[in-house]
Structure 1
């Protein structure tokens, strides 16, 4: 039996929360020697009780065995009781290879976050970042050179990798299953599963359901952040009426070889809001056709903004300029007052000029893109998943560490522009206001999360005809012709 790596979840006072396409648990009796105390910054800690579960790793060492017994190391987020790893046996000197798309300079906080694990266990994590990892992973798997662990950024690629690896693909051990069940929930567990079996716990995440805006501009005009789609459209019309030197919205679909992907996000957001999560799932799986009436409605709802020359494209010109405006530049006119709102993900924070203050009282901030009514909160996003291709105690120990609140808080403290969907993450540890807002959004009990639809579709559609179709649509093609063309491109088998 192996016990789950557990961490206390830090309590936080919501009153203290003033900052506002491409990412541990059961109740029961804690074995004292496996308890992990987490003292996180900015709050008091409490123990999270856990029950033991059988692990697929096959380690027979008990709580008193192994190199980690009786040792504590200090992480950025608090002390780590190394005895939590004792049930995995003595893994000192063992190595775990990690393969990921996360490269320099973003790789440093990732690597640094492994230090408590390495100090506790004596195991070594060998990190390999490669921008071409997504295309090379299947090549390595088929060539018998799979990494121990891969951080996979799309559920579709996870499905392919697990099936390509066959028996070499290692399902999540019970320790990871318990963590995912408690700290992530069914939505995220589903995206990390293949044929109903959990293979990969979530790692990082991002939130796409945001509208960027200028708090100062809103305050100067006495505009309120909308909480329903009707309010958003009323605000859009009001801005167009009040300010003849600006437009309510700005957008950019150009992204080199990936041109069109920002447009797919508009459709996905509106599918979640107008059709609902269940129909969204059917659409992504092609259980309904791409040109289904529900998709027509979603695209036309987006068109009520994006194809209205009175509403776009602030700072750049007419509707067609959206196709040639780089997505990195899309929201920049907010800073000079020629645009009021820009739909884009949490990661867009990296595109504002150096010195731009992000926050509710800053130069720029974001609000949740409202649903049709305030009672529902669908959220679109993305993230990475931790898949394994070697069954070994040291690999399972590391996977368990990565799925714990301890790691999520450790990573948060040393990172900027990084978000976790782990419900044990303390919002106070996310110092960037947009990161904190993203975590708060993901942890909201009302949130219904769905992964980026185009990332889960077959590549011929998700990164092919869908992208191209959005460019054709914004430059004049009709909703019907675009959706019919994408439907015709869906692979027959």
Structure 2
């Protein structure tokens, strides 16, 4: 297919900018006083043609709510937005970009694809058309770093997921008088012990079974502990492989999860139950008249798997609190999450205007009201969320000291959705220790061209 004129005109400057980035390290200083657009010299954008195409992975009701959230903008701006849903987005976007048939905007569910295209100079840095400082000031702290490559940011969030949520049956907690606001991991452990002592029932509901993807729940647990025990800087070093996967701090995080999950009587069904219970059904026993478990750590999307009668009365049936900090670890409250990142492949006035709206606190009102969507902006009008439960989860992110993107979504695919998943299954079923698990994953980390060159140089 023939590339659009807008793509052809920006491709060469984008590649040039990427090459310059390799030489200079960082053309954008996030802490600079002037965070205005156009710092790298692409110049004035060309005039748009009134049409902007967007490719993303979500469809169905989410697609409908996305389009509804654009209606007022398109009516006022006169820009026609054509959203195309593709369930194979990760592969489709790469094929289209390589063929010179890129959409104007891509909505990436993981930052890894953005990094790959940034390395090849195929995506426009956001400081060319957005005010970096203004955007960063309204986002959940740390979110913008999720698309930073070689010191520069290439995509901005338009939807947030919060993973560090602990769910519990509200009525059972209120009747028992248990602590629903533990501030540290030690207090959370004490709460679990109290629940077991009072009821004789395992406190934790954990399920991993997800067909070929079994293991991803375990990676989330390790990421939670990495953030809390060692902080965001070490976490970043880990997910970008600046420290090896078998670093002692990573091993300690895997062991910390194991201390919780493999403690006798702590999880419904024990180790076997964890692997055999579908992740979507993990908390179902908590809604029985006599709950079979009480605590589940899972993302905000978990509500979609709760029984219908629970979803209909969410605020009365469910309570939540943030997975707490480590008392002797990172001095702050981190939060683990994810989200969709908007990246631009065209540099024209219409595309820039749509990007500014998509990544602003004004986007998403109708989607928020319908449920299932969270804004990454601390300044978003929380009254537009449909219930107190959702508002509370959004507030967790607003009040957190730092946000970090799901690490397995950042790591190379061979690890993030490969050996990390299988390694955690091997750890959970007892066939590997934490040390052996970490070593096996490290041995599977792909060797980059730079690393191979370094190794060859050391051998000479």
Q: TM-score scaled to structure 2, two decimals?
A: 0.83
Q: 1:343 Cα shift?
A: 1.0
2-side partners of 1:318 and 1:400: how far apart?
A: 48
Query: Alignment partner for residue 166 of structure 2, among 211, 225, 250?
Result: 211
1-side partners of 2:254 and 2:103: how far apart?
A: 41
Q: 1:464 Cα shift?
A: 0.5
Q: Rate the CA distance shift 1:447–1:358 in 2: closer, same or farther, 3 A.
A: farther
State yes or no: 1:184 paired with 2:170: no
Q: Match of 2:348?
A: 392
Residue 271 of structure 2 aligns to a residue in which SS?
coil
Asked whether the 8 Å contact 2:36–2:132 carries over to 1, the reply is: no
Query: Alignment partner for residue 109 of structure 2, among 150, 153, 156?
Result: 153
Q: 1:169 Cα shift?
A: 3.8
Query: Alignment partner for residue 232 of structure 2, among 274, 277, 280?
Result: 277
State yes or no: 1:324 paired with 2:267: no
Query: Alignment partner for residue 175 of structure 2, among 205, 220, 225?
Result: 220
Q: How does 1:122-141 map to 2 (within 5 A)?
A: 122-141=78-97
Query: Alignment partner for residue 112 of structure 1, among 52, 60, 68?
Result: 68
Q: 1:384 Cα shift?
A: 1.1
State yes or no: 1:334 paired with 2:286: yes
Q: Match of 1:162?
A: 118
- Structure holding more helix per residue: 2
Q: Deviations over 1:260-316 (max 9, x none)?
A: 000111111011111221111111111222122111211111111111231112xxx
Residue 367 of structure 1 aligns to a residue in which SS?
strand
Q: How does 1:443-482 map to 2 (within 5 A)?
A: 443-444=398-399, 446-477=400-431, 478-482=433-437
Q: Rate the CA distance shift 1:176–1:114 in 2: closer, same or farther, 3 A.
A: farther
Q: How does 1:158-307 map to 2 (within 5 A)?
A: 158-164=114-120, 166=121, 169=124, 171-184=126-139, 187-225=142-180, 226-244=182-200, 246-307=201-262
State yes or no: 1:429 paired with 2:384: yes
Q: How does 1:92-103 map to 2 (within 5 A)?
A: 94-103=50-59
Asked whether the 8 Å contact 2:213–2:417 carries over to 1, the reply is: yes
Asked whether the 8 Å contact 2:97–2:122 carries over to 1, the reply is: no
Q: 1:433 Cα shift?
A: 3.0
2-side partners of 1:423 and 1:365: how far apart?
A: 22
Q: 1:408 Cα shift?
A: 4.0
Q: 1:241 Cα shift?
A: 1.9
Query: Alignment partner for residue 416 of structure 1, among 371, 375, 380?
Result: 371
1-side partners of 2:386 and 2:315: how far apart?
A: 15
Q: 1:193 Cα shift?
A: 2.7
Q: 1:399 Cα shift?
A: 0.6
Q: 1:228 Cα shift?
A: 1.1
1-side partners of 2:441 and 2:249: how far apart?
A: 15
2-side partners of 1:326 and 1:51: how far apart?
A: 46
Q: Rate the CA distance shift 1:256–1:432 in 2: closer, same or farther, 3 A.
A: farther
2-side partners of 1:54 and 1:139: how far apart?
A: 28
Residue 203 of structure 2 aligns to a residue in which SS?
strand
Q: 1:425 Cα shift?
A: 0.1
Q: 1:179 Cα shift?
A: 4.0
Q: Match of 1:5?
A: none
2-side partners of 1:466 and 1:127: how far apart?
A: 33
Q: Match of 1:65?
A: none
Q: Rate the CA distance shift 1:479–1:197 in 2: closer, same or farther, 3 A.
A: closer
Q: 1:443 Cα shift?
A: 1.4
Q: Match of 2:28?
A: none
Q: Match of 1:77?
A: none
Q: 1:454 Cα shift?
A: 0.7
Q: Rate the CA distance shift 1:334–1:140 in 2: closer, same or farther, 3 A.
A: same
Q: Match of 1:488?
A: 443
Q: 1:198 Cα shift?
A: 2.5
Q: 1:170 Cα shift?
A: 5.5
1-side partners of 2:355 and 2:234: how far apart?
A: 33
Asked whether the 8 Å contact 1:305–1:311 carries over to 2, the reply is: yes
Structure 1 runs (4+) greater than 6 angstroms displaced: none
Query: Alignment partner for residue 381 of structure 1, among 330, 337, 350?
Result: 337
Q: 1:178 Cα shift?
A: 4.6
Q: Match of 2:457?
A: none
